Amino acid sequence: MALRLPQRSELWLFDCGEGTQHQFLRSELRLSQLRRVFISHMHGDHVFGLPGLLASLGLAGNSPGVEIYGPDQLENYLKGVITSSSSRISYPIKVHRVKDRATKNQIVFDDDDFLVTCCQLNHRVPAYAYRVEQKARRGRFNLELARELGIKPGPIYAALKQGENIQLEDGRIIQGKDFCGPDRPGTSIVYCTDTFFSESAIELARGADLLIHEATYAHEDADLAYQRKHSTSTMAAQTASEAGVGQLVLTHLSPRYAPGNRLTPNDLLNEAKAIFPNTLLAKDFLQIDIKPGCNSS
């Protein structure tokens, strides 16, 4: 799953299974924009594509660096593969262990625009869900009011947009707060796979605009879900419902539900929609504009 950040030429990747490079080539995404990778756990279908992706990015020679977040074993895994294959990485890579932060409810990443937190999931190996929160943005600037008061465009506008108080050449003191509307809330997305039903996932997803959640099994196969520590479609829907999210996307379905079998992906979708109506199935190259309500295309 790739996340394109608004107003930045920056791409974040969540998990990296085999074939990720091929999907990049088939998409409109630019690998050169990759800045952060968040790995949920060390099972191969979530991590086997990462060394090759990093090596290809190194061959391009135009990356300022990549920061990677994930389980404790991730750093040694990458070092082993890159060293053993004599791959040349021409840019800095920094690997962050998230275990302690997940158990202590600490922040994984924070800058002026975004906040990333995570929690531990209920899987056979250490696994983590991630939440990306866009911070509230300053309200819209009242351009008409500025013009009415005879304030000329320039650096003064920028200062007023930041809420600063400005003294004009004629002595008037203008308060920036009078020119900005209320702060605009940011959007949020939660990526949650692989896990059996998890109370910590509900808390992490609380009020998110979009929840991407695994649905490996149908409801009738709940015993398998318990044994293998995966979710059913109904568990994913229950998580979305209890967390009060805006939209749910189901992913990571078992091949046993391939079209033509007795149960198909649409059956899992309908199971989830019976609990949480605003649900859809993930598919290759699905694009979702993350905002309240979440529209997909």
Tokens 């605003």 belong to 278
Q: How many residues does the chain have?
A: 297
* Reduced 3-state DSSP string for 248-294: EEEECCCHHHCCCCCCCHHHHHHHHHHHCCCEEECCCCCCEECCCCC
Pairing of strands 210-214, 165-167: unpaired
In this structure, what token pair is assigned to residue 93? 């890579």
For CA atoms 145, 147, 148, 149, give the dihedral sign.
positive
Catalytic residue at 45?
Answer: yes
Task: Give CA–CA dist 258/266, Å, rounded.
Answer: 10
* Rounded Cα distance, 249 and 211, in Å: 6
Residues 6+ apart with CB under 8 A from 188: 131, 132, 133, 134, 207, 208, 209, 210, 290
* Annotated catalytic residue within 15, 45, 111, 267: 45
User: How is residue 135 annotated by DSSP?
Assistant: P
Helices and strands (H, E) in the chain, number of each type = 11, 16
Residue 212: which H helix or E strand, with range?
Answer: strand 210-214
The b-or-e profile of 14-39 (16+ CB within 10 A means b, else e) is bbbeeebbeebeeeebebeebbbbbb
What is the set of active-site residues?
Answer: 45
